[in-house]
Amino acid sequence: MSLRGVAEPTHLEPTTRYTGDVMQGVAVISQLNVSDLEPGRKHRFFFQGIQMGTGQHWYVPIVVAKGMQAGKRICLIAGIHGDELNGVDAVQRTMASLDPATMAGTVIAVYDLCRPARELIQRGWPSTAKGHREVDLNRVWPGDEAGEDAPTRHVALVWNRLFRGNFDLAIDYHTQSIGGEYALFVFADYRNPEIQRIAELFPVQLIKDDPGEPGSLETTLVQSGIPCMTVEIGGPRGFDAAKVAIAVEGSLNVLKHYGIIPGVCDRTSKEVGTFIGNAMATVRATTGGYLQTLVDVNAAVTPGQTIAIQRNVFGDVVAEYTAPVAGRVATIVRDAIAEPGTRIMQILHSVDPGASDHSGALRK
Ligand SMILES: [Zn+2]
């Protein structure tokens, strides 16, 4: 039975609702309640998302690893943006290492939330209702089931029927978009001590203490009382094995920290000397031209250090860019051509508490 487009009564304890469809051997559901799933095993589903213009649905693949014992419930999300693939590898590897028979708690993996963008390997959801404009799925949470375009409604279905009531904590995995690259990097709202604790369980290069971004999944979850942080794993399109391995290490540390899986934590931010800052300095191209960057992600830079050179088509230098602050390179442009205004680099640094910026840290 489809109630799409119709406001449904709110049930405190909705049961997992099977549509009766099976795709590629996997059951389709339109509502999840992890408490009514059999413990001690992994469950695969396709969650039925919004319809396309042809009337068929977009589906969200999910895996629920439900432990024999009750415990903390954690959701791992990879795929709000279509061109970001490292998170898929990190979550798949994390899930593959879990044995529900020895677990106390539940881990939910959510893949490919933004399927049409994924198929095209592009960042946003191409909405015909918006003149084929891409809708950024990480700016429209918690969505609206009666919203003005399909992606906004899709997000609301996921929020109301897949996420709500099913987990106590979440980790959202991203990368930089096409044309750029991040260091191995965490956005975490340090105003919440639990979020600070889980962020520092990740042996990453950089952490930004960050107040969040309106409409992002991370911030919307935090505002609804569910701790969440965003892990940025390098660049788009490919798999970066080294960075993925560290993201898996951090994810398993979080599961160990909450006693979901047995064992003691591996390396954390403390062991690897993670650089923690609370502000971003952004360097943008002042002119058009071909760009040569002179430092890489995670590099330490000092004020006045030349970080990029831009040349015109004849090879003459038309601009030189220097680091405005001392800090570490958090994100870098990878395209060797830059129009005026292009963000060349963001440098993570620290300012006095209370002065941390809200605008500079454009999360992906
Ligand atoms: Zn992203």
Ligand 1 centre distance from Cα of residue 260 (Å): 27
**pLDDT tens string 203-252:** 999 999 999 999 999 999 999 999 999 999 999 999 999 999 999 999 99
Domain 280-349 belongs to what architecture? Beta Barrel (2.40)
pLDDT tens-place string over residues 262-314: 999 999 999 999 999 999 999 999 999 999 999 999 999 999 999 999 999 99
Instruction: In whole angstroms, give the CA distance from residue 80 to residue 271.
Output: 31
The one-letter amino acid code at 328 reads R
Q: Which amino acid is at 227?
A: P
For the record, the structure tokens of 11 come out as 């049930």
How far is ligand 1, taken at its centre, from the CA of residue 8, in Å?
Answer: 31
Residue 79 Cα to ligand 1 midpoint, Å, equals 7
Cα 311 to middle of ligand 1, angstroms: 31
Q: How many CB atoms lie within 10 A of CB 14?
A: 17
| Residue 280 β-bridge partners | 348
Contact 208, 188 (CB under 8 A): yes
pLDDT at 25 over 70: yes
**78 Cα–ligand 1 center, Å:** 9
Q: Of 225, 229, 112, which is closest to residue 165 (Cα–Cα)?
A: 225
Q: What is the CA(69)–ligand 1 centre distance, in A?
A: 33
Q: Domain spanning 17-272: which CATH class is it, in words? A: alpha beta
- Within the chain, all domains assigned CATH 3.40.630.10 are found at 17-272
Ramachandran angles phi, psi of 326, nearest 5°? -85, 130
Among residues 249, 252, 255, 265, the alpha carbon closest in space to that of 104 is found at 255
DSSP state of 158: I
Q: Ligand 1 centroid vs 129 CA: distance in angstroms?
A: 22
Neighbouring C-beta atoms of residue 64, cutoff 10 Å: 23
Contact 194, 227 (CB under 8 A): yes
Distance in Å, CA 80 to ligand 1 centroid: 6
- Distance of CA 61 to CAs 58, 98, 336, Å? 10, 18, 36
CA of 364 to the centre of ligand 1 (A): 4
Does pLDDT of 52 surpass 70? yes
pLDDT value at 11 more than 60: no
**Average pLDDT of span 150-161:** 98
Percentage of the chain beyond pLDDT 90 is: 91
Decide the pairing of beta strands 17-23 and 26-31. Answer: antiparallel
- 44: which 2 tokens? 């695969």
Q: Which segments of the chain belong to CATH 2.40.50.100? A: 280-349
Map tokens 């030189």 to a residue: 320
For residue 14, the model assigns a pLDDT of 86
